[in-house]
Structure 1
């Protein structure tokens, strides 16, 4: 956990949202040992990936079954404290892409994400927060993609702006995906 705290202390926020969420993540990481487990039903750590093509013109997205929206890839830490490893694992599981590599080992973005109550595998999950660390990853758009049927119904590459437009979640489009593209283009 100390490695992640150090990474978040060094993280340079892009905007006020990232700074406020960085402070929240640091506070909870320092005070709650259950933060890496879904057993904490109020909030827990997750890792997401903004997966881009080597030429930085495309983004890999999945059509998420619960949210009924195109979205980034990622998932729960489930006890794992290496969130970069979680992001890479989730990309492989959710897209079938085998060759994926970090553009950087440092976090690319930070978010505190609200999750509405929903059914998952026949069981109700209460509304909660995902304390999310996003990593910038790279993969080859020519590699075959495969849906993970219990989580998504499609996986596809989109041009940067089209990836934003494909999301049916306004807050993600305007506050997260636009930001990720802006940060990518500023690199």
Structure 2
């Protein structure tokens, strides 16, 4: 997949709510006007990919305890030049959790979010506040595989019952605007392959 494929996917994406429709328009505009939008050298905004990872029974979600934010969060990361965001999501799940058996439930975009990232230190260097233009994919992984942390990014990786995810996350905006939305989409959208 390349930039044009992502533009097409965003053009045909059926927004779930007003937040997604607004973010979809912003992403399309930036894809058309900003050459370095897939690189974190763009200090204002860049693409990232996340994964809402379900177990095979679709009863639990895989989350990692993020070192910078000291909070449980979905898995994912920066595009870092990669325009195939599904590949980014798959790779990040494997790197951040140690799970090897992970696949898309559908290859379509599951959710869209523009996420504000506060300024922070990473590897001894200051990273200014910026936006993640985040594309989320619905993935499935084998919950019998051993989990492993990625020490420079997280300090725990665990499966949580879907309805308890909002209880382990302490960032109100993420709970209200993202995780509750993802769970609502699981109930309302036909996501089976």
Pair 1:160-2:167 in alignment: no
Q: 1:20 aligned to 13, 19, 22, which one?
A: 22
Q: 1:56 aligned to 40, 55, 58, which one?
A: 58
- Residues 83-119 of structure 1: CA deviation (Å, up to 9, x unaligned): 0000000000000000000011110000000000000
TM-score by length of 2: 0.96
Q: 1:32 aligned to 31, 34, 40, which one?
A: 34
Distance in 2, matches of 1:5 and 1:96, equals 31
Deviation at 1:54, TM superposition (A): 1.7
- Residues 128-177 of structure 1: CA deviation (Å, up to 9, x unaligned): 00000000000011111100010000000000121121111100011100
Report 1:96-175 matches (<5 A). 96-175=98-177
Alpha-carbon RMSD across the aligned residues, in angstroms, is: 0.6
Distance in 2, matches of 1:167 and 1:101, equals 25
Equivalent residue number for residue 3 of structure 1:
5
TM-score by length of 1: 0.99
Distance in 1, matches of 2:15 and 2:31, equals 18
- Structure 2's unaligned 5+ residue stretches are none
DSSP 3-state at the match of 1:142: coil
DSSP 3-state at the match of 2:82: coil
Report the more deviating stretch, 161-170 or 126-135: 161-170
Tell me the matched-pair count.
Answer: 187
- Structure 1's unaligned 5+ residue stretches are none
Distance in 2, matches of 1:62 and 1:150, equals 12
